[in-house]
Amino acid sequence: MEEPAFFTMSDGRRIAHRSIAGTGPALVFLPGYMSDMSGSKATAVFDWAVREGRACLLLDYSGCGESEGDFADGTLTRWRDEVLALIDALVAGPVVLIGSSMGGWLMVLVALAVPERVAAFVGIAAAPDFTDWGYDAAQKAVLRAGQPVFEANPNGPESTPTYPVFWVDGETNRLLESAIALSCPVRLLHGQADADVPFETSLRLAHALHSADVQVTLIKDGDHRVSRDDDIALLLRTIAALPTGAA
C-alpha cells in the first residue's frame, strides 16, 4: 500500500493512517493488541473497499506500527480517543467498525462514545474484558503492584508485555458484567479452536448487547488469528451482507 498519512493529536502525537474516499458507511478497521494496519485482515478489508468503491480508514494506535509514541504508554482510553479523533476528522457520515481481538473491545468503547455515528460493527475474535479473564491471580498481583507482565509470544521471538497502566485502564473499561446500550447490527466471528480468546467471549458479548440484530458465527477449526483465506472470505462476505443502510 501507499505510504501512510499522519494525523496530529492535540498533544502532538502523530497517528499513522491510510484512508480512501467512497460510498458509506465507511469501514474503520481496529487492529488487535500490538498489531497494526499492515496485518492481513486489515489489508484485505482495505483492498475490498477499493474494489467496491467503499470509504475505508485504517490506522495504527500510538506506539504501534508506523505511529509515533511508546507502546508502554498505550491504554484502551488513549487508543479509543485516537480512533474517535480520526473518525471525526477524516470520515463523513456513519461508520462500520471492524475490530480484531483487542480491537473488538475497542470498537464497542468507540461505539458507546458515538453511537449516532455507528451503523454496525463486526468483531473478529473479539476480546472485551481480557484484563480480567486473560490473567491469573499471580499476574494480576504483579500488575497491581505496578510491574509489567511478560508472556511468550507464539507469533514471534519477543515476549508480549502488559504494562500496569494498560491493565488498570482496562479494568475500568470492562463491559461484560452489565448491559451494553447499543442497538446497531452486530456480527461476531470467532474460531472455536482459539487458544487465546475463548469463543464463549463472543457469546457473552452478544448476550450483553441491547441490539436484537446480533449474529455470532463460530468457525469450528478456526484459531485466534482468523486469517486463513477462507476466514478472510467469510469476513468480507459478512461485511458485504450487513443490512441495508449499514453497508
Residues making up the chain, counted from first to last? 247
Q: Say which of 62, 190, 224, 231 is annotated catalytic.
A: 224
101 in catalytic set: yes
User: Of 5, 80, 76, 81, whose CA–CA distance to 37 is shortest?
Assistant: 5
194 in catalytic set: yes
Q: Say which of 60, 81, 169, 194 is annotated catalytic.
A: 194
224 in catalytic set: yes
Question: How many Å apart are CA 142 and CA 236, to the nearest integer?
Answer: 40
Q: Do 51 and 77 contact (CB within 8 A), yes or no? A: no
The three cell numbers of residue 150 are 511478560
- In single-letter form, the type of residue at position 229 comes to D
Q: Say which of 19, 62, 67, 101 is annotated catalytic.
A: 101
Q: Do 163 and 131 contact (CB within 8 A), yes or no? A: no
The three cell numbers of residue 25 are 458507511
Residues designated as active site: 101, 194, 224
